Amino acid sequence: MIELLTANTPNGKKISIMLEEIGYDYKVTFIDIGNDDQFKPEFKKISPFSKIPVIKDAKNNQTIFESGAILIYLGEQSGKYYNEKDRTEINQWLMAQMGYVGPMLGQHHQFHHYNPGKSEFGEQRYFKISKRIYEELDTRLEQSKFLAGENYTIADIATFPWIARHEWHDIGLKKYKNLSRWYSEIASRPAVIKGFDLMKNGEEVPKI
């Protein structure tokens, strides 16, 4: 049994989607980041930077923090979506999500969605970067069915929940043919639909 300590965010949804994809039994422990639960000493012991998600794997007596590391761990343990032949390519696209796509779209959320009107510079900067991310992903997906090649991998699982907030971005996902094709294909997967509804409250994957 895996315990997933998380909040209902793109980084949190990565792991619930992966757990559904690999068919592992898991339970969700909600961390209320709006109430600063992530800064409590007991959580900080297992997440040094006070970030969600974290998993506890009782079977292997392992606790893992950082969503990318968790995806790698689950991929290695299950033998799914992280095949050895494509591992270098998968790692590159996973790290691109961790270091670029997620953080930059996250800043766009802060300035454009949560705090509009507080910083014209911030809004313009992160809108431009986010638009460029859409363009770059679209270019990649013109050349490749999925981000790391012809197979669906943890790189796609990591990136998808961030693009699923496309309504917040006001960039227009439907203008990007290849990114839209990729998004629609992943959005229709039963495990993605189930894992996206992390809080089990009927949340649906946003449509294009």
Residues 36-55, mean pLDDT to the nearest whole number: 96
Q: Label the pairing between strands 2-6 and 26-30.
A: parallel
Domain check: are 102 and 158 in the same one? yes
Give the tokens for residue 202.
């009927």
Strand ranges for 10-144 from DSSP E: 26-30, 54-57, 62-65
Asked, for residue 109, whether it belongs to a domain, the answer is yes
Please write the tens of the pLDDT for every residue from 81-120. Answer: 999 999 999 999 999 999 999 999 999 988 988 888 899 9
Contact 155, 100 (CB under 8 A): no
Domain residues for 42? 2-81
Asked, for residue 204, whether it belongs to a domain, the answer is no
Q: What is the pLDDT of residue 115?
A: 86
Q: Which helix (H) or strand (E) holds 108?
A: helix 102-108
40: domain CATH number is 3.40.30.10
- The percent of residues in the chain predicted with pLDDT above 90, rounded, is 93
Contact 154, 90 (CB under 8 A): yes
111: domain CATH number is 1.20.1050.10
Name the domain count of the chain: 2
Q: Is 90 exceeded by the pLDDT of residue 134?
A: yes
